[in-house]
Amino acid sequence: MSSTEWTSIKMGKFTLRFKPYTLEMRHVFTVASFSRTTTPVVLTELEYEGFVGYGEASMPPYLGESQESVTAFLRKVDLAAFNSPFQTEEILHYVDTIDAKNTAAKAAVDIALHDLLGKLMQQPFYKIWGLNPDLIPPTSFTIGIDTEEVIRQKVAEAGQFKILKVKLGLATDKMIIDTIRSVTDVPLCADVNQGWKNKEEALAMSHWLAERGVTFLEQPMPKEQIDDNAWLTERSPIPTIADEGCQRYADVAALKGVYTGINIKLMKCTGMREAKKMAELARALEMKVMLGCMTETSCAISAAAQLAPLVDWADLDGALLIGNDIFQGMEVVNGLCRLPDRPGIGVIKN
């Protein structure tokens, strides 16, 4: 599929444009279940009365979406029945009902709509939501599963970060942690990507990791092992966070007690509107909140960062893992997220 051709669809007062684009990873990216060197995305633009909002769908393998499925979904979107982008709830409810899944495709519309709204109001979205960007926690930087030599190289490159996220879930787990600890003592968080299958072994690892400065466990066991994850959460010396086990708003309430908290990602939950609702519900349930990302350009990363003041942990390094970002937006300075004071989600094209 070409990465240079835009499809443009006029629908009443709106025009939706989209095109596929392939992100190139700076390093081979390996987690417990796969490795990859690229990530397919689809870029979107939503125009209304001369204002243009930018959006993005990112599709890592496990989401089950592709550039073909996203563009097929976007061709079904018809906003002709809506007179104004300020009919946000109705528009996004309609988009959500077009098909059952396609959450990344829906997020591409949601992000573009929020960017458009912010530009119409001439305000950044974090200000529209009344949030303080000084409250954004330091973002982690992800260290994928790799050899000792490459892990040391990645840690050296991540010198500005105040917390590192480490991918685990294979037989090399202890080697990876020991290698990182040989070169840095910064706090770590561990993302197991459902790689552990046995609850007793998972509990033993949680104690071993806690002794080595790991602050929480992300998706330690398969999401289907609900009782095992709850058993681990009750006994683990560090918090457990649902990632693959928490997709959308409807999932959140049932996860209280199964995990300590949830990881919200725009590509899983259809975008900014639902992500904010998920964060507020988790808070009401006294659960921890993490804000994550896929491999994305600064477009989707900057969209997620608008709600980062609401969360306990931020993992917004997706644009730093690629070599061909086409946007400028949120920047990471000394491990801290810096939101631009620009309207909408704050991105401009390079």
pLDDT in tens, 172-219: 999 999 999 999 999 999 999 999 999 999 999 999 999 999 999 999
pLDDT in tens, 92-111: 999 999 999 999 999 999 99
State the CB neighbour count (10 A cutoff) for residue 101: 14
CB 295 within 8 A of CB 301: no
Amino acid in the structure at residue 195: G
pLDDT band at 1 (very low <50, low <70, confident <90, very high): very low
Which structure tokens are listed for 262?
A: 């949830």
Burial class of residue 37 in the structure, from the number of CB atoms within 10 Å of its CB (0-12 exposed, 13-18 middle, 19+ buried): exposed
User: What does the alpha-carbon distance between residue 212 and residue 132 come to, in Å, rounded to a whole number?
Assistant: 33
pLDDT band at 33 (very low <50, low <70, confident <90, very high): low
Domains of the chain, with CATH numbers? Answer: 7-123 (3.30.390.10), 127-349 (3.20.20.120)
pTM: 0.95
Burial class of residue 43 in the structure, from the number of CB atoms within 10 Å of its CB (0-12 exposed, 13-18 middle, 19+ buried): buried
C-alpha angle 51-52-53 in degrees, rounded to nearest 5: 125
Give the per-residue pLDDT at 115.
98
pLDDT in tens, 72-93: 999 999 999 999 999 999 999 9
Report which DSSP code applies to 123.
Answer: S
Give the per-residue pLDDT at 31.
67
Phi, psi of 185 (to 5 degrees): -115, 20
Write the CB contacts of 270 (distance below 8 Å, at least 6 apart in sequence): 92, 95, 96, 103, 106, 107, 110, 248
pLDDT over 70 (residue 153): yes
Give the per-residue pLDDT at 2.
38
